[in-house]
Every structure is written in C-alpha cells, then in structure tokens.
Structure 1
Amino acid sequence: MSGGAGIRSISGETFSWQEAVGGWRGAVESVLPGLLFVVVFVATGQQLQPALIAAAACALVAVLLRLIQRSPLTQAFSGVLGVGIGVFWAWRTGDAGDYFAWGLLVNAGYLLAFVVSALIGWPLVGLVLGMFRPEGPLSEGGSWAGAMAWRRDRMLRRRFAAVTWLWAGMFGLRLAVQGPLYLADQVGWLGTAKLVMGLPLTALVLWLSWILVRGTTAATPAPVPSRQDP
C-alpha cells in the first residue's frame, strides 16, 4: 500500500493527513522529482537529458540531506529507487514517456494483487491490517496467527474486502487515465496526471479506507466452544 505511515493512518483511532502522506518532507520528496522532470522537459522545448538530470539530482539530494541529518532513509531511498529506474529506462530508450513506464507497471502489479486477493476471499487490506490489530504480531502479546483472527468475523471480512476493492479502483483509475496518455506520447499531460493521481489521490483513498475500517481495531473475540451434554 503506501508504506508504514499510510498503514498506521488507516489503523489509528484518528486520521492524520500529515501522517498519511509521510509528513510534509516526505510529501515534497515524493512529488518534487516528477514535478521537476515535467517542468524542465516542457521549459527546455522537450529536451530529455536536462529533465532526467533534474529529476535524478533532486532525488539524490533528498537522500544526501537525510544522511547528513541522520533522519530515516526508508522513504527517500524508495523515492530515489523509483526515480532511478525511470531515469535509466528513459535514458536507454530516448523516450521521455518511459520515465513513467515503471510507475504504470507498478500500478498494474498492485491492481492485479488487490483484485485477486479480494476474489479469492483473502483481501489484501485485511492481511496487512491484521498485523496492526491487538492480536497481530506488531502489537504487544500478539502473534502471526493472531493476524488472521479477523477472518472469523464476517463484518470485518466484508469491510476489508470493500477497502481492498477501493484500492484496486484507485490503481485501475490510474491505468485508465495514464495508460492512453503514455501510448499517445503526451508526456506533459502524463506527468501532470501522475502528480494529481499520485500523493493527493493516495491520501484521499487512505482517508476513505480509514472511514470504512475505523472502529475495527478491537481484538476479535475468540470463538466460544459449544457445550455438549454429557
């Protein structure tokens, strides 16, 4: 989904928009490389090399600043990896649209995973959130087996399935909008769509997910064994 911060924003008793986007610094690190790529590409008359350099330099500076300040690197490294793959792909093909190809493939992979998990009755959102529930392994006294306790509750299964389809819808919407722009080589519009449907849309889906699952953080009661007459 959207990383640890995003998952915590869903499972908490209250919703924090700042936590959902990984903090303001995380939001800037996520958005700025792609924004610079589009701006520089358009401003230079659709020259690819300056745009690639701007995006790569931005991602690397974000990592270096975190190293100097000794702050957590997970989100910055994740960002620089995605930017690095996009830069390398576009540089090898000479096609600016390929800077966004990796993101399209990632969304296709997530869409497939979420849809399949919902169809087979093991919604991915439930599998992930189960680890944060009181009986899950990330809570004191919880266990990996406890992470599956929600499956005994029909209401929880339905809620987690609904949220899983919500996330599948987000990934499908991205592909439906950005895929044709990629095929039509509309790099400026593709970059704009990716920015709008990236962090802002993810934060909105996190909020809707929180609405659907709030109140479900209590431990799932253990089944009561039936009593049989001697």
Structure 2
Amino acid sequence: MKTTPHQDTTNDAQATARSGQPERKSALEQAGGTKALVYSALPVLAFVVANNARGLRTAIVASIALALGIAVERLARRESVMPALGGVFGVAIAAGISWWTGSAKDYFLIGIWASLAGAVLFLASVLVRRPLAGVIWNSATGKGDAWRADRRSRFYYDIATLVLAFVFGARFVVQGYLYKADKVDALGVAKIVMGYPLLGVALLVVAWAARCSNKRHLQSS
C-alpha cells in the first residue's frame, strides 16, 4: 500500500517517539525560542531609545516598566514564575546601578562583569576536569555523573564548555571595550546580539556533546 508524504512524516515522528530520542532543536529553540529572544531584548531596547529621546531617568523608568509588563504577561499565560521574576530582578539591578552612578552606560556594567565571571567559571571547570556543560546537562536530565568515567564523553563536554567560556569571554571583551568608549547605543546592540542568539549557538554545541556522550553509553551498555 502506497503511503503519502504526510503519512511518512507521521510514521517518522512515531518512530522517533518510540525510540525515545527527541527531535533535534535549532539553536534558537535551545535558547528558549523567539519569545525569549524578544523578551530579553525589549527592556534593553527601551532603555537605549528612551535615553536618547528623554534622558537617563526616562530610560530607567521605561526599562523597568517594560520588564514588569513582560513579567505580568508571562504570569497571565501561566508560564514559569522564575524567568518572569528573574527578568524583572535583573533589569531592576541594572537600572538601579545606572541611577546611582548617574551614567547610562552603567546600565550594562553588571552584565559585563557577570560575563567575565561566567567565562572564568566555565574555563576553571575544564581545568579541574568537571566541565560544567556536562555537569549541568546531566543533572538537568537526571542522568547522573556516569559520563565522567568515560574519557571521550568528558572530551565532548570539554569542547562544549570551552565554547560557553568563549561566548562569555567575548561578551566581556566586546562590551567592556564599548563601555570604556562610552558608546551606550552600541552597548545596547552588543548586549542583544551577543545575548540569546550567541547563547543559542553554544547550547547547540552542548546538545551535540550530549548526543555523542549518550551514543557511547548506549554502545557500551
């Protein structure tokens, strides 16, 4: 009996479900999807636009108000509470620092130093042979730490962790340079572009490392 393309697609999806292997996600999906990208960019965009149009005080109010609006919208949709509150908390801290110093560029200061801390943490985890990409991924998926006994699996996760360290390090270098140059508009662009889009690429590498590691465990079992 001849099958239609639609039936072939359905059969493939059913086979994937039976095998227990999830479909591959794009880099954007790994980072939370288009909505997460937009939500992270809007308060920054509002701050930069308002700062140019009406000054620092208006920019602070605009970014906090938009972050609160996004949180309310997410809660109304019954999405996870922590990302909603985390977004408001992060924007509030950044805005508070900027208000305290009276400088618009200081809105980005905490993110710059957080990037440096992330780069150091990921790099250090590789040096002590506990690559964080593997630790976090396997803890989140409930697979424990059996992967650490396999040298090749550690190598895969080392690569993924180093990619994450590079992402955070690149954020620190680029945004740190723009901060010193007092380029607030460029800082806003860099924060958006080097945020979720770049993180999505890094998470795709983490997913690759996890697939390679899982294959080795399946072969050895």
Cα pair distance change 1:126/1:71, threshold 3 Å? closer
Q: Is the 8 A contact 1:36 1:51 kept in 2?
A: yes
Query: Paired residue for 2:94?
Result: 86
Q: Map of 1:1-230 to 2, 5 A cutoff?
A: 13-44=23-54, 47-133=55-141, 136=143, 147-217=144-214, 220=217
Q: Take 2:208 and 2:214, find their aligned partners in 1: how far apart are those partners? A: 12
Q: CA deviation at 1:192?
A: 1.1
Pair 1:114–1:17, CA change in 2 (3 A): closer
- In structure 2, runs of 5+ residues without a counterpart are 1-20
**Amino acid of the residue matched to residue 86 of structure 1?**
A
Q: Distance in 1 between matches of 2:72 and 2:124?
A: 39
- Matched residue SS, 1:214: helix
- 1:173-198 Cα offsets, whole Å, 9 max, x none, are 11111101112211111111111111
Q: How far 1:208 sits from its partner (Å)?
A: 2.9
TM-score, structure 2 length as denominator? 0.82
Shift of 1:213: 3.4
State the shift of 1:164 in Å.
0.6
Q: Could you list the runs of 5+ residues in structure 1 that have no partner in the other structure?
A: 1-10, 137-146, 225-230
Contact 1:13 1:215 in 2 (8 A): no
Runs of 4+ in structure 1 off by over 6 angstroms are none
Cα-to-partner distance string for 1:157-177 (whole Å, 9 max, x where unaligned): 100111111100011111111
Q: CA deviation at 1:16?
A: 3.7
Change (3 A) 1:35 1:220: same
**C-alpha RMSD over aligned residues:** 2.4
Aligned residues: 201
The CA deviation at 1:13 is 4.9
